[in-house]
Amino acid sequence: MVDQSEDRSTVLAHDDVPLPVPALRWEEPPEGPVLVLIDQTRLPAEEVELVCTDVPALVEAIRSLAVRGAPLLGLAGAYGVALAAARGYDVTDAAEQLAHARPTAANLAHGVRRAERAFRAAVDGGAEYEEAAAVTLAEARALHREDAEASERMAGHGLALLGELLPGGGYRVLTHCNTGTLVSGGGGTAFGVVRAVHRAGELRRLWVDETRPLLQGARLTAYEAAREGMAYTLLTDSAAGSLFAAGEVDAVLVGADRIAADGSVANKVGTYPLAVLARYHHVPFVVVAPLTTVDLTTADGGSIELEQRPGHEVTEFAAPSAPGAGAEAGSGIPVAPLGAQAYNPAFDVTPAELITAVVTERGVISPVTGDALAELCAAAPPPSGEPLPGDGR
């Protein structure tokens, strides 16, 4: 399969409209179905669409973070399988490539396996190939709708929770990474709650961690906050401590990439230090995530595979919005001596005991324990909790 991704080089004309600009959509031009993504590596300087016509192109978009964030990775995975089916590629091979494109977000393998199971069930049930492809696409669309609904429910639960934790309103919320419309079929996870707080007139300030090294906070959350008309302030990740010490943070809201059975949460690197700071300063630390992020097959935080990214993301500054910026060592501006070693985990793990509450579409867990998580999932266990044949984890 040849990488046929195409930079449509369209600067989207959405500057004057609030998000949601769909971060991902399915299109069926005469040449065949495609998955259209907003290239998140080029935001905020340019809103450029990336058109994926095959699975290797989508895998590359996932690895390069053109498409990113746990819930959106789930959708990309499911639509990727649908794309493989619709274009007549080997679905099993496509599912393997997609499921392992990045290791930490539970949603990716969940979305892939859900679509793959739908395809298999259709084929095993005697469906013609085209019909099975249509079933697979319908499954991806169903996941998309469910994710949008989950966003809405989490926003409602999160808003109510903040009202209980912090009576009086007028919150100063600190967030990390990017968790809004750009990562979801709907309004997002933690940022979805922030938006609900803002729309309720209760957001005094959004503190946005820049989120080193790839600046998802500075480039993406600030972009979403600006479009929502929020009062927001950007800070370097290392400035968070002094902000807590000054009493300027009322609550921390973050998303999650994988929640283990013991309630430990893997999220963007830098989340764990915020949880430690929040505990020391008696500030609520709240995780917002759909049940597709819960992985009951991973026993504890120590068993979560944490993606390690290339050192050049730390030793070089990528020029924002240059096509493929930062993708290759040597393509950015060096900020360290040549040959410097860099430690660059993409995620860290926050233990359950540091988390005030986990907000899901099905309700809020607080205190966060493995038992409470299992109970929440028990009514209808999240599909991500099922063993995933061939998932290799």
Decide if 357 contacts 364 (C-beta within 8 A): yes
Position 297, amino acid? T
Which residues 217-256 are close enough to bind ligand MRU by CB under 6 A? 255-256
What is the Cα–Cα distance from 121 to 322, expressed in whole angstroms?
43
Known binding residue 70? Answer is: yes
Per the document, the length of the chain is 393
Known binding residue 196? Answer is: no
What is the Cα–Cα distance from 143 to 95, expressed in whole angstroms?
16
Binding flag, residue 68, ligand MRU (CB under 6 A): yes
Is beta strand 171-175 parallel, antiparallel or unpaired with respect to 48-52? unpaired
Nearer to ligand MRU, 188 or 284 (CB): 188
Nearer to ligand MRU, 85 or 257 (CB): 257
Answer for which of 41, 136, 189, 344 binds ligand MRU (CB under 6 A) is 189
Known binding residue 178? Answer is: no
Window of 63-71, 112-120, 227-235, 327-335 that interacts with ligand MRU by CB under 6 A: 63-71
Nearer to ligand MRU, 36 or 215 (CB): 215
Which residues 120-179 are close enough to bind ligand MRU by CB under 6 A? 177, 179
Q: Which residue is nearest to ligand MRU (CB)?
A: 255
Nearer to ligand MRU, 133 or 275 (CB): 275
Answer for which of 42, 48, 59, 69 binds ligand MRU (CB under 6 A) is 69
Known binding residue 268? Answer is: yes
Phi, psi of 392 (to 5 degrees): 75, 10
Answer for which of 346, 352, 358, 359 binds ligand MRU (CB under 6 A) is 346
What's the number of CA atoms in the CB half-sphere (13 Å) around residue 151? 26
What is the Cα–Cα distance from 139 to 117, expressed in whole angstroms?
9
Is beta strand 357-360 parallel, antiparallel or unpaired with respect to 285-288? parallel
Binding flag, residue 344, ligand MRU (CB under 6 A): no
Known binding residue 344? Answer is: no
What's the number of CA atoms in the CB half-sphere (13 Å) around residue 341? 1
Residues 6+ apart with CB under 8 A from 384: 106, 107, 109, 110, 291, 292, 293, 294, 295, 296
Binding flag, residue 267, ligand MRU (CB under 6 A): yes
Known binding residue 332? Answer is: no
Other CB atoms within a 10 A radius of the CB of residue 236 amount to: 12
Binding flag, residue 65, ligand MRU (CB under 6 A): yes
Active site residues: 257
Min CB(105)–ligand MRU separation in Å: 6
Binding flag, residue 70, ligand MRU (CB under 6 A): yes
* Token code pair at residue 356: 């005030």
Query: Sign (positive/negative) of CA torsion 88, 90, 96, 102?
Result: negative
In sequence order, the β-bridge partners of residue 174 are: 207, 252
Annotated binding-site ranges: 68-70, 102, 216, 267-268
Residues making contact with ligand MRU (CB under 6 A): 65, 68-71, 105, 177, 179, 183, 189, 216, 255-257, 267-268, 346
Q: Which residues are annotated as a binding site for substrate?
A: 68-70, 102, 216, 267-268
